[in-house]
Amino acid sequence: MKNILNALRFNFILVKPYLRYYLLGFVVVFFFKIMGSEIDAVSFMLFMLLSTHLYPFQLEEKNDLYRLYGIVPIKRSVLIFGRYLFIIVISLIDWILAMILEYSFSKLAMNISDYLLSSLFIFSIFLILTAFEIPGLFKLGVIKGRWIVYIPLVLMFIIVFLADTFHILESGTNWITANFWLVPTVTILVLLFSVTLSVRIFNRKEF
């Protein structure tokens, strides 16, 4: 556990030059909210955060850290766990800030429990999209795998568009609300599969 926490700390040190960009979504949404926009803070900030997953991979390649990973006496799986934990911690911070921002600027009476459920659903979608991104970035690297970041977003927009076109969005939403326990369950399972796949990919890399 100590090694994983050290790997988490290493990721924060690694992206230190880019840490301000992780809060860019907050600044943008705050500006829009001041201007009276009805933009949803949680959705906007989290989906902006998807593009920041490239940063640690980009810095690893830029500083040739893969060669270092082949020398230091640390399991590669620990590095993977540290990367996922870093992304989850950053995402949680962003998610909490987004909820506070949305609540602070809400002009209507907000049902806290309903808002938390919808916000948790969006956060789960974000984590599932992240789970599809990370193994691809470990496999292809930043230069070849940059396009991977945008595929989940495109797929998400297509799914929502089709659901709205065929009038199944409302019924689908009602079904998810009635079976909400599936949301965290599916999210955790997808993340576990993603971590396992990333470990297998990373273990096969030659440094």
User: How do residues 173-205 score in pLDDT, each as one tens digit?
Assistant: 566 677 777 888 999 999 999 999 999 988 887
> How many angstroms separate the CA atoms of 121 and 12, rounded?
27
Residue 82 above 80 pLDDT? Answer: yes
Task: Find the mean pLDDT for residues 13-24.
Answer: 82
Among the residue ranges 96-100, 107-111, 202-206, the one predicted with the least confidence is 107-111
Among the residue ranges 129-138, 142-151, 167-176, 185-194, the one predicted with the least confidence is 167-176
Top pLDDT among 189 and 4 is at: 189
Per-residue pLDDT tens digits for 21-68: 777 878 888 888 888 777 777 777 887 787 788 888 888 888 777 777
**CB contact set of 68 (below 8 Å; sequence gap of 6+):** none
Provide φ and ψ at 37, rounded to 5°.
-70, 150
Query: What global pTM score does this model have?
Result: 0.85
> How many angstroms separate the CA atoms of 193 and 185, rounded?
12
Q: Which amino acid is at 187?
A: T
> How many angstroms separate the CA atoms of 14 and 94, rounded?
19
**CB contact set of 67 (below 8 Å; sequence gap of 6+):** 207
CA distances from 64 to 56, 58, 59, 82, 107 (A): 12, 10, 8, 18, 50
What confidence tier does 166 reach under pLDDT thresholds 50, 70, 90? low
Residue with tokens 């009602």: 174
What confidence tier does 84 reach under pLDDT thresholds 50, 70, 90? very high
Among the residue ranges 31-35, 142-146, 156-160, 170-174, the one predicted with the least confidence is 170-174
Residue 108 above 70 pLDDT? Answer: no
Closest CA to 194 of 58, 85, 40, 32: 85
What confidence tier does 171 reach under pLDDT thresholds 50, 70, 90? low
Q: Can you give the residue ranges of every domain in the chain?
A: 2-203
CA angle 177, 195, 117 (to 5 degrees): 15
**CB contact set of 6 (below 8 Å; sequence gap of 6+):** 82
* Length of the chain in terms of residues written: 207
